[in-house]
Structure 1
């Protein structure tokens, strides 16, 4: 492969995703595409993004699970009220369900007597099975690719999967490993400590954050390796 191309945190922003793939002239026969998770929630086209991701994986892309996929799985495969409310009310799961054609009435629950809505959708079931099968990290001789980061003092193969998709400051400030970690999850404007800066973050401790906050009006970033060239769309 001539290039490795890494994208994270698409969050239902299909148009930006397609524009970015075009801008970086992605060719599945020559490039290794790696997607770091969070394809769903908050943005308008989660279903269509997942359809696109499935096709890209069929053509050789490596696809990781993010914390929003994990929230979606827990909300839709269990009857736990907290899991449902956390995903739908706090984390943008309602936008994901709307993309599958469900209405606000379809997903409403009785707060006094919780009963998860019955949501019939073959395509949703197919997508659930897909995201349940996704890997959590990729490790190469030079890099670690992961959604949120790694626990600095624990080998990644022994790390609690929850940390790989949720960790923030402990990783950002404490990582001292030899391999460069490419991650999403935390918007780069917070890593830059600049609300206007959504560019890729190159940390001095070999961490590279690429989540440009696309769904919040920021930008969708792609990091090209080994050149470290960046492509972005707003």
Structure 2
């Protein structure tokens, strides 16, 4: 049986991402890798993380969308000024900088109808648009933020899968184990002093180690439920 490896919330930290893959001895022939989103924003090189994620996907990895990719879509594809402002305060400036752009130039380009995106950025946006929101196996459900415990999957909105927090943490009691990122695990552990993978008693496993906030980048291995990290 292949190892299932799960990583989330790289946030432009390409060096940590590469180091973690090396540390767990990732092999596209031997392992199935799940990436749970938030490749962009806040970190030093979001463009490089997307490039790496796209390359891994071509080798067989399963890449999912995060809420930061969703914000990027709404700002740059929707060309919505409010969405640009929202993205900017959540790290969008660092993402644009990695492509040689600024928030100000994008904002003005949308205002006057002259916005033209570099080909590489447009290609990455096209890739982001086709990303799945969740993936599942017989025993596990992989998603960026979580699920609504009060609704069936078929009736759940994309925003819920990408943004939910408290209702999911406290209310989920399903049979499948939910593997998620989005919320740094320091906010899930009772002691609030650990960025390690969080194993909830109600069949949830949080893996966002808050790498871009000075924490660590985690990798969960299934079905063994072992962990590795860098940072």
- The alignment's TM-score, normalised by the length of structure 1, stands at 0.94
1:7 has 2:4 as partner: no
Cα distance in 1 for residues equivalent to 2:117 and 2:152:
41
Cα distance in 1 for residues equivalent to 2:82 and 2:190:
32
1:101 maps to which residue?
100
C-alpha change, 1:73 and 1:126, in structure 2 (3 Å) is: same
2:164 maps to which residue?
167
- Does 218-227 or 132-141 show the bigger shift? 132-141
Q: Which secondary structure state, in structure 1, belongs to the residue aligned with residue 4 of structure 2?
A: strand
Cα distance in 2 for residues equivalent to 1:75 and 1:104:
10
Of residues 186, 190, 194 in structure 2, which corresponds to 1:189? 186
Task: Provide, for residues 194-227 of structure 1, a one-character-per-residue CA deviation record: whole Å limited to 9, x for no partner.
Answer: 4431000000000000000000010000000000
2:40 maps to which residue?
40
1:179 maps to which residue?
176
The 8 Å contact of residues 37 and 66 in structure 1, kept in 2 or not, is answered as yes
- Does 190-199 or 56-65 show the bigger shift? 190-199
User: What is the aligned residue count?
Assistant: 231
Cα distance in 2 for residues equivalent to 1:217 and 1:117:
38
2:126 maps to which residue?
129
Q: Which secondary structure state, in structure 1, belongs to the residue aligned with residue 224 of structure 2?
A: coil
Task: Provide, for residues 46-67 of structure 1, a one-character-per-residue CA deviation record: whole Å limited to 9, x for no partner.
Answer: 0010000000000000010000
RMSD over aligned CA atoms reads 1.7
1:91 has 2:90 as partner: yes
Q: Which secondary structure state, in structure 2, belongs to the residue aligned with residue 92 of structure 1?
A: helix
Cα distance in 1 for residues equivalent to 2:101 and 2:205:
37
- The alignment's TM-score, normalised by the length of structure 2, stands at 0.95
User: How big is the shift at 1:7?
Assistant: 0.3
